[in-house]
């Protein structure tokens, strides 16, 4: 079982306030890839003392600590997800929906391409943009 986001934060000595705890809870419960505005709206439902500035500062702190990842899908909004298992993203260009997927064959292909070019693959990110077939 993997550590919760809260456990990861505590392991990195991130000072925990009740507001940060609420924001972390919202991130953990998110099944989508929320931006700061959406995180703020969800957080303030649980604690109306949270300001948007607090959400921005918390997300910056969590990103710098490596416990969340900032994602940019070309729509001008930074979105976030908890760091963890590697996966790719398929973005529906009409709805903005972000679909996570993992493909072992694709992973091997990326490693082989780097190897062929004389590199050891150390990290990568792949986003696919598509439209549902009609």
Distance CA 99, CA 32 (A): 9
Give the integer Cα–Cα distance in Å for 120 and 111: 7
Nearest to 92 by CA among 35, 133, 37: 133
**Helix 18-29 and helix 52-64, axial crossing angle in degrees, nearest 10:** 70
Condensed to tens digits (0 to 9), the pLDDT of residues 5-38 reads 888 888 898 998 999 999 999 999 988 889 999 9
104 and 77 within one domain: no
Assign 3-state DSSP to the chain and report helix, strand, coil percentages, each to 5.
40, 20, 40
CATH number at residue 115: 3.30.1490.190
- The 10s digit of each residue's pLDDT in 31-64 is 888 999 999 999 999 999 999 999 999 999 999 9
Asked whether residue 17 falls in the same domain as residue 60, the answer is: yes
Q: What is the CATH number of the domain that holds 47?
A: 1.10.10.10
Do both 9 and 46 map to the same domain?
yes
Is residue 52 within 8 Å of residue 39, measured between CB atoms?
A: no
Output the CA torsion 93→96→102→108 (10° steps).
40
**What pTM was estimated for this model as a whole?**
0.75
Domain holding 25, by residue range, is 5-82
Residues 55 and 92 reside in one and the same domain: no
Q: Which of these, 101, 99, 55, 92, lies nearest to 74 by C-alpha position? A: 92
Quick one: 103 and 76 in the same domain? no
Both 92 and 123 in one domain: the answer is yes
Assess whether 23 and 78 both reside in one domain.
yes
| pLDDT value, residue 31 | 86
Do 62 and 125 belong together in one domain?
no
* Angle (nearest 5°) at CA 126 between 121 and 129: 165
What pLDDT is attached to residue 2? 55
What is the domain count for the chain?
2
């Amino acid at each position: 079982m993997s550590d919760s986001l809260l456990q990861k934060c505590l392991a990195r000595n991130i000072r925990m306030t009740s507001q940060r705890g609420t924001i972390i809870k919202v991130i953990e419960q998110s099944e989508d890839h929320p931006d700061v505005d959406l995180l703020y709206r969800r957080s303030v439902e649980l604690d109306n003392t949270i300001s948007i500035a607090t959400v921005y500062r918390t997300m910056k702190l969590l990103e710098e600590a490596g416990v969340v990842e900032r994602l940019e899908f070309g729509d001008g909004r930074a979105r976030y997800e908890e760091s963890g298992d590697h996966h790719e993203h398929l973005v529906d260009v009409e709805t903005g929906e972000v679909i996570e997927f993992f493909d072992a064959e694709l992973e091997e292909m990326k490693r082989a391409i780097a190897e062929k070019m004389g590199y050891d693959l150390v990290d990568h990110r792949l986003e696919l943009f598509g439209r549902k077939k009609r």
